[in-house]
Structure 1
Amino acid sequence: MKNTIEIKIPIAKYITALLVLGVMLSACTDLEEVPLSTLSATEFNNTEDQVNATVRGVASLLGSGFTWTNLFVMDVITTDEGVIPTRAGGWNSNGERDLHEHQWSPTTENIRRRYAEYSNIIGRANVALESVDQTRFPSQYAEIRFFRALAYYKLLDYFRNVPIVTVSVQDPNNLAGNMPIEDQAQKVFDFVEQEWLEIQDDLLTKAEVGDDHYPRPIKSTASAFLVKLYLNAEVYIGVSHWNECIEQCNIVINSNDYSLTDDLQESFIPENQNSPEIIYAQPRTSLGEGIIFQQVQFQPELAWKFKLPVNGWGGFAVTNEHFAHYDDDDKRKTYILHGPQWVDDAQTEPLYKGASADGNGDPADGQFEILPLDQILDAPVERGYKSTKYVPDVNAVAQHSNNDVVVLRYADILLSKAEAILWGGTDPMGASPDDLVNSVRARSFDPDKPLSGVTLDDILNEREFEFSFEGHRRPDLIRHGKFISTATEFRINFDAHRIIFPIPEEQIDRNNNLQQNPGY
């Protein structure tokens, strides 16, 4: 049984009242909309239980911004790693094919949703911060600041210039003057950095939180996300922060809060909350809000192979280029389904065409085979390799699985430290990039295949193999200057300005203080 179900408890009655009264930044999504009423802090959040419920309420909102599918459509299918071709029944209603082809626009639905979702988290966090007494509840106050900064970090990564709003209520007598002014990427970067540095004094340690630490942000969580911020600093603001990145890596490493698992997939099983490698994850359960990794990917036949309760839709796919890039001896390549399929691991019972959740297909129809994708328009459902990195959940309820969405792992810290050293940073601990990379790589080869004289290209490749389908490929390619040039068979656009996304048109229509990003 997961020990994280409390994260999904609906927000307490007194917070629900706030929603009804319109205290939040908006009823749904926007940084720009102005609420007109509020309640005093003395009317709620007087007890630790109430404050913890408020924190859980803010944390639960991350479930929209950090679903696996959301990370996938923004950070995977925009790269050479994944693709969502159009198939019978659609699969481009939200601009999925446009994202892979690099033809998105300010009206692309998936881009609109991401801006709205992270803005919503910020608005709700602002309300919560105004209702929680920082002096009485310092750790919970810090956790809410962590979530708000995380939302701003994603907006920075996707859009760069966004308004920084830290209050929930503005002057109702001056609505025209209350539309937020757009802040430059440097200011957004500084804000996120300051928040994550400052809250480290108030966040609890893993030992202090005990078994309830997962998935709450603790001291080392803030350092781990600072690693990601500093690793991409030169992309965001034009100034490298390699030494700062290494410093935060060392804080995480020396905390002894995390360790590599013997098997990479231990972090992706349905009960993955027990993985010592996960630094931060978004909890999911099969109770109507689980990860739908297998549903959006798998062909209907795979339901029988993995004993799943419902048939898959067959949409998402691994690109042919990503699959071909792996070393054949790399265990991580085995997480990608391809070729003839079998019901059992021993390969004694073929999986037949027409199989479903109800049973195997007819042997007369032949063995089901997953073929490489050969077109992005009207692709047959059997075309397109499938990732099984997230282990299929036999106890799923309908399409909802228990696997938590992994946002950040310890392996990322080790590879980030190696990369920062190679970019020119200095490690006071004297670690070797070879040792750091091979410490992650070792579990994926038997016998071992260590790298020697590791280069930046080696690290980019290793990150591709290690973090496949986790939502890191886009920023990795951008940081190495290869996002635009790394093509797939179906890419048709190579515009340099697409290293960031456009501000959604609806946001600019509502707030004329916002400026569209160059090229859009």
Structure 2
Amino acid sequence: MKILNICMLLLLMVSASCENNLEEVPLSFFEESNSFNSAADATSAINAVYDRLKGVYGMTMINLADLNGDECQVREENGGGTEIHKNLFNSGTGLFDQFYTASYVLIDRANRVIGNVPKITMDVKLRDQIVGEAKFIRALAYFNLVRAFGDVPLVTAVSNDVVNVQIPRDAQEQVYQQIIQDLQEAEKVLPVKFTADTEIGRATSGAAKSILAKVYLTRKDWTNAAAKAKEVIDSKAYSLVPDYHDLFVPEKENGPEHIFSIQYSCVLPTYGSQMAVSFAIFFTYPINLTGGTYQVVPAFASSFQQGDYRKEVTVITEKKLANGTIVASRTGPHTDKYWDPLACGESSARNNFIVTRYADVLLMYAEALNELGAPTAEAYNAINLVRARARNGAAATVLPDLAGLSQAQFRDAVLQERGWELSFEGHRRWDLLRTGKYVEAMKAIGVTADAKHLLYPIPLQEIDVNPALVQNAGY
């Protein structure tokens, strides 16, 4: 693992608004003990942690969790994307090192907040909240790492050593225990909701509970997964947005269904996201009429049930431009989830990346209850709430409520529902792995998959600089 000492310098220099106009300062001039002295310093530091989430999510997470799945693919000219989708990658594939490095930079920043902010004399409630936010983000980073690579180095203390980089991988179980501990501690000190415009997008107790529910679900701890998801439901802090399309409209981001999202904007072009251009039908993206190579797997496009309104947003074959021109795709179906007519640059738009939302929690709750023995009335109610929204006001005979299913049938129904509801939102590979369906699903769309593909390879660049790392089997 690369220990990047420059991170502590960046913490000092990133302002409360997360602007990236940084000047280089010789490291010899910097003392970390002098940079955590006030509440303003603590706020600047946690903002610097949030800023680094952009390097882990956006198209990076879509490549990791959706492109390597049975719903998303790329056109052949996108060689790197094809490598990921078709399981042709290896330890030298650049995406893995990019994600691995970005994740540990994020963890390093979080560690510095966790290690230094408690020493500041400031409002105790705010101090605890900021530390809780850092623990939430650290847990999120490790959850992504452990699902991607399995055993990973568990670093929870600030390290300024750029010489000793021989850090071995820690067992998944140990990493998961730290993730759970961080989230449990975070949920106790984070607010239910932020209301100030400058605080929208920060981690809340509901966000911590939602990710904790998913951690428990991944660990097959059905009792705790169901209990934690129910806490989110019972809080009444979230609700399903009536119109599924509105979930993805930039003007309506951070709405009542959104629990935690990575914030993108057009304040500066560098703050924008790349999802819009990546998924746009070519000659439709508003900046220079460009477009992307990311498309919908045809089998997934045809899997929606008759009358499912979500298909209108999830699968399109043509796009009507602002001037009335209709552009048809010449290469197959695309998704319209990330359309932004007011994008701020050729590769930057206003679309947030939704990490978790209320429908995700409802489906997790249904899954966990079913795994405790059989589908209960509460499990049916949770999944049917999601299905009811997908009717878009049509009669109940359209996309009818589920009923009378066996445990195995309900399990399959939840996985399918998660596909229709949460596609291209960074969930699919993890869902297939969690349910043991990954190899089967990939083979069904003609992609070679076997046991080695259940984990990604440890990046070759990391092994080169850290001899203590051991590669995953098969790579």
What's the TM-score bracket when you normalise by the shorter of the two chains? Answer: 0.7 to 0.9
Q: State the TM-score, normalizing by the size of structure 1.
A: 0.79
DSSP-derived class of the 2:130 partner: helix
Which residue of structure 2 lines up, in the alignment, with residue 325 of structure 1?
A: 303
- 1:290 equivalent to 2:245? Answer no
Match of 1:432 among 358, 364, 378: 378
Counterparts in 2 of 1:309-458, with a 5 A limit?
309-339=287-317, 342=320, 351=326, 368-370=327-329, 382-394=330-342, 396-424=344-372, 432-445=378-391, 446-448=394-396, 449-454=400-405, 455-458=410-413
CA apart distance, 1:61 = 0.3
- 1:202 equivalent to 2:161? Answer no
CA apart distance, 1:426 = 9.5
> For 1:77-136, what per-residue CA distance to the aligned partner results, in whole angstroms no more than 9, with x for missing partners?
11110111222xxx22xx311111112111111112111111111112222333312574
Structure 2: unaligned runs, 5 residues or longer: 1-14
CA apart distance, 1:512 = 1.6
- 1:503 equivalent to 2:451? Answer no
Mapped to 2, the partners of 1:97 and 1:248 lie a distance apart of 38
Matched letter for residue 389 of structure 1:
K
Matched letter for residue 202 of structure 2:
R
- 1:224 equivalent to 2:210? Answer yes
Match of 1:271 among 239, 248, 251: 251
Q: Residues 149 and 198 from structure 1, CA distance in 2 versus in 1: closer, same or farther, beyond 3 angstroms?
A: same
Mapped to 2, the partners of 1:450 and 1:457 lie a distance apart of 15
Which residue of structure 1 lines up, in the alignment, with residue 18 of structure 2?
A: 9
Tell whether the 8 Å contact from 1:502 to 1:517 is kept in structure 2 after alignment.
yes
Tell whether the 8 Å contact from 2:442 to 2:448 is kept in structure 1 after alignment.
no
- 1:39 equivalent to 2:19? Answer no
Structure 1: unaligned runs, 5 residues or longer: 1-5, 23-36, 234-239, 352-367, 371-381
Tell whether the 8 Å contact from 1:243 to 1:425 is kept in structure 2 after alignment.
no
Q: Residues 244 and 266 from structure 1, CA distance in 2 versus in 1: closer, same or farther, beyond 3 angstroms?
A: same
Which residue of structure 2 lines up, in the alignment, with residue 374 of structure 1?
A: none
Which residue of structure 1 lines up, in the alignment, with residue 12 of structure 2?
A: none
CA apart distance, 1:391 = 3.6
DSSP-derived class of the 2:76 partner: coil
Tell whether the 8 Å contact from 1:393 to 1:403 is kept in structure 2 after alignment.
no
DSSP-derived class of the 2:441 partner: coil
Mapped to 1, the partners of 2:437 and 2:16 lie a distance apart of 38
> For 1:463-506, what per-residue CA distance to the aligned partner results, in whole angstroms no more than 9, with x for missing partners?
00000111111111112211111136763422222111010111
DSSP-derived class of the 2:67 partner: coil
Q: Residues 325 and 337 from structure 1, CA distance in 2 versus in 1: closer, same or farther, beyond 3 angstroms?
A: closer
Tell whether the 8 Å contact from 1:296 to 1:312 is kept in structure 2 after alignment.
no
- 1:98 equivalent to 2:76? Answer no
Larger gyration radius, structure 1 or structure 2: 1
Q: Residues 281 and 146 from structure 1, CA distance in 2 versus in 1: closer, same or farther, beyond 3 angstroms?
A: same
Q: Residues 339 and 148 from structure 1, CA distance in 2 versus in 1: closer, same or farther, beyond 3 angstroms?
A: closer
DSSP-derived class of the 1:83 partner: strand
Aligned CA RMSD, in angstroms, stands at 2.7
How many percent identity over aligned positions?
26
Which residue of structure 2 lines up, in the alignment, with residue 365 of structure 1?
A: none
DSSP-derived class of the 2:439 partner: coil
Tell whether the 8 Å contact from 2:299 to 2:445 is kept in structure 1 after alignment.
no
CA apart distance, 1:450 = 1.5
Q: Residues 425 and 291 from structure 1, CA distance in 2 versus in 1: closer, same or farther, beyond 3 angstroms?
A: farther
- 1:169 equivalent to 2:159? Answer yes
Which residue of structure 1 lines up, in the alignment, with residue 10 of structure 2?
A: none
DSSP-derived class of the 2:442 partner: coil
DSSP-derived class of the 2:356 partner: strand
